[in-house]
Structure 1
Amino acid sequence: MPEAATVPTQSPNHTFCDTRASVDAALTTIHQYTKLAFDCEGRDLGEIGGRLSLISLRTISDDLSSSISSGHKFLFDVITLEREALLGVYAILESSAITKVVFNGRMDFSSLYHDHSIELRNVIDLQIADIKSRELRGEQKSGRMRRLGSAIDRGELYQNQDLFDGMHKLSGLKKCAKEHIAFSDVPGPRFQHSQWFTRPLPAEYLHHATEDVELIHQLYLHFHRRGYLTNPHLPGESMRYVSICKDRQSKMDEPFRKHGLLPLGIIGAEQVQGQETRRCGYCERALTKSCFSNKSWSADVSKCNVCRAVGFQPFWLRHKR
């Protein structure tokens, strides 16, 4: 029996698409744009046993001087909709002609690739742009080391400083937004991620999904205006970063793949192209000699400097985990 024509469920902040007709209506609007803010929500997203619940897309105007509040936000219900109804959305995610702006898109890529056979393409990851912006904003080595001090034991950090050259502490979306655009986060209820599969979705979960994709949009506009997105290597670095789990999905608690440090070999990979590599026995990535200590490079089982640093977490962070 053919599906009755319906109007997408709308609110002042988003359009919730859970029927074939509402998806088609959303795609008509989305195809007018060449850039989209993109995010996913779910439980243990991108990990073995995880599950995708929502795909969020926010249009980005080609006129980047336009108001931050203008545009359209669409939430696609992956739980309710059949795969066939979402093929147009998946085609956008795989399109090389449409830029997807993400923030830490690693688990989004992993979930889509391993669980839905969709390969995300043409990505700008603002988590990488944030790290590259720090030097442009005048941050010196001392500032980079202070950031690292929240993730690495300070004694280890300052006793072996040469091993931490080129290492960076990642910032989460809201912390990054607070640093760049004075975002003020209002503490809300603790999320139970199983609730992402409740229908209808609780209002606070809808708010969270729309807020994240809107923050990505606002950060993109800010980074564009400040010139943080002009580096020609950013698209390639972004794709290396988001596809880092393409070889396999991570387990739920896998310390050498889930931590707060930027993996090595993402930024500056063009400069060492063609150099000899070794496989780190912990994160399982092929990396050049500069990513290892001399001792580890020649060991039977090599450990890259980031994986080594993960073993020297401060007591409070080990206790929290």
Structure 2
Amino acid sequence: MAKQAKYVYCNDLPSVAYATRTLANSPVLIINCEGRTIGVLGGALSLMCIGTERAEQIFVFDVLALEPFKSRLQPLFRILTNPAVKKAMWDCRNDFLEIQNEYNVMMTGIVDLQLAEIQARTTVKREGDYQHKCRFTRGGCSVPLQTINQNAELFFEVHRLQGMDACIRQAGLLTAGKDPEVVAMHRAAGSSIWMNRPLPPELLAYAAHDIELIGALYEDFKKGAWITPTNEPLLVAQSMRYAYSLFYQGRVPDDDPFGQAAVLPLDVLNESPGPKVQCHGCHRMQSLSCYSVRKQGGGFEARSNICRVCQIKLLMKRAKYPITWIAI
């Protein structure tokens, strides 16, 4: 078993008060949540884990135990909504949605490390177009390279997401990975195990260890110049758009073809000017550059009814949906 992380379990007001005083003195927080199918229809928050910079101190807030004391958590919420306090996260979308749903708190100052990894592919790793395409041919829900080449317009400036575990391995960090016993529990019983009380010590340690992993990556990314004082303000703006992308889409069933997939929504890295129209798949308002556009009879242009990312999701999930064309 992996070495267990040290943490403070916060399930009453005195422990929350201590945690809040400690977190208030940290310019950077590391945040990650656990729960039942968080971010999708039927999702529920169980734990909100927050660490200080470099994960030197970790606090595991028991959302269920603290349910009667929501009104007493305002000092903590003021930290979460303070844009001067950076919040390092990995794929912030689900956590942002669940914290907003549970506490009506909209976090600010997010630095999403998943986006930093994507930016580093071109700025640091110097990946070319071929490497960009090959990312879609590997892992779950892969797409054959021939299909990608036949639909090159769909994949233009669309990025395949990478998981935190893969990034930890590639970085060669000495930090231990995820506890295989807990991973096996997930596979056997699903994410509902997070809603049981009392939570086994293994699950609490697993949740705390994720804060250590994100903290290690954040420090590694800064050392490797993936995150710098120059690019961090832009990364925060991108991360906030990333957080709101799921918030605007809303919860959908886990098997929805336009639901979660390992592909970055468009209009996140770059906020395109001009009018925005609604995608019939993910229901997000997006700029015209996010859609397929073609000439119709009579010389006028039309756009696809679903955005390019949603079309890629159909290819990844081997799903069908009628593509129609709407005059621009």
Q: TM-score range by the shorter chain?
A: 0.7 to 0.9
Q: Does 1:308 align with 2:295?
A: no
**Counterpart Cα distance in 1 of 2:249 and 2:303:** 23
Aligned counterpart, 1:190 = 185
CA distance 1:287–1:248, change in 2 (3 Å) = closer
Q: 1:221-232 alignment to 2 at 5 Å?
A: 221-230=219-228, 231=231, 232=233
Matched letter for residue 234 of structure 1: L
- One-letter amino acid matched to 2:125: R
Is contact 2:249–2:282 with CA below 8 Å preserved after alignment? no
Q: How does 1:229-240 map to 2 (within 5 A)?
A: 229-230=227-228, 231=231, 232-240=233-241
Deviations 1:29-76 (A, max 9, x none): 111111010011111213332211111011106xxxxxxxx6101101
Q: Which of 42, 56, 63 pairs up with 1:71? A: 56
C-alpha distance in 2, partners of 1:117/1:257? 23
Report the residue type matching 1:288 in the other structure. Answer: S
Partner residue, 1:120: 107
Structure 2 unaligned regions, length at least 5: 321-328
Specify the alignment match of 2:36 in structure 1: 43
Residues 1-321 of structure 1 mapped to structure 2, 5 A cutoff? 13-60=6-53, 71-81=56-66, 82-135=69-122, 136-150=124-138, 151-182=142-173, 185=177, 187-188=180-181, 189-191=184-186, 192-230=190-228, 231=231, 232-247=233-248, 249-253=250-254, 254-269=256-271, 272-273=272-273, 275-295=274-294, 298-299=301-302, 302-313=305-316
Instruction: Supply the distance in 1 between the matched residues of 2:286 and 2:262 (Cα, whole angstroms).
Output: 19
How far apart are 1:214 and its partner, in Å? 0.9
User: One-letter code of the match for 2:314?
Assistant: G
- Helix, strand or coil at the partner of 2:192: helix
For residues 158 and 107 of structure 2, what CA distance do their matches in structure 1 show? 26
Distance, in Å, in 2 between the alignment partners of 1:14 and 1:245 is 30
Deviation at 1:83, TM superposition (A): 0.9
Report the CA distance between 1:248 and its aligned residue: 5.1
Q: How far off its partner does 1:219 sit?
A: 0.5
Conserved 8 A contact 2:90-2:112: yes
TM-score for both structures, normalised by structure 1: 0.85
Q: Matched residues in 1 for 2:117 and 2:51: separation? A: 20
- TM-score (structure 2 length as normaliser): 0.83
Deviations along 1:230-277, one digit per CA (max 9) or x if unpaired, are 3242110000001112235312223213111001111122xx32x233
Separation in 1, partners of 2:18, 2:180 = 35
Change (3 A) 1:155 1:12: closer
Structure 1 residue 278: Cα displacement:
2.6
C-alpha separation between the residues in 2 aligned to 1:83 and 1:257? 30
CA separation in 1, counterparts of 2:151 and 2:266? 17
Q: Which one is further off, 87-96 or 97-106? A: 87-96
Retained in 1: the 8 A contact 2:294–2:303?
no
Q: Is the 8 A contact 1:279 1:285 kept in 2?
A: yes
**Residue identity opposite 1:123 in structure 2:** I
2:253–2:259 contact (8 Å) kept in structure 1:
no
2-side partners of 1:196 and 1:172: how far apart?
21
CA 1:257 to 1:314, structure 2 compared with 1: closer, same or farther past 3 Å?
A: closer
For structure 1, the residue ranges without an aligned partner over 5 or more in a row are 1-10, 62-69
Return the offset for 1:184: 6.0
SS in 2 for 1:233: helix
User: How big is the alpha-carbon RMSD for the aligned residues of Structure 1 and Structure 2?
Assistant: 2.4
Distance 1:168 1:259 in 2: 11
Q: Tell whether the 8 Å contact from 1:45 to 1:111 is kept in structure 2 after alignment.
A: yes
SS at match of 1:179: helix
**Alignment size in residue pairs:** 296
Query: 2:215, 2:60 → 1: CA distance?
Result: 15
Residues 1:47 and 1:115: Cα distance change in structure 2 (over 3 Å): farther
Structure 2 equivalent of residue 3 of structure 1: none
SS at match of 1:257: coil
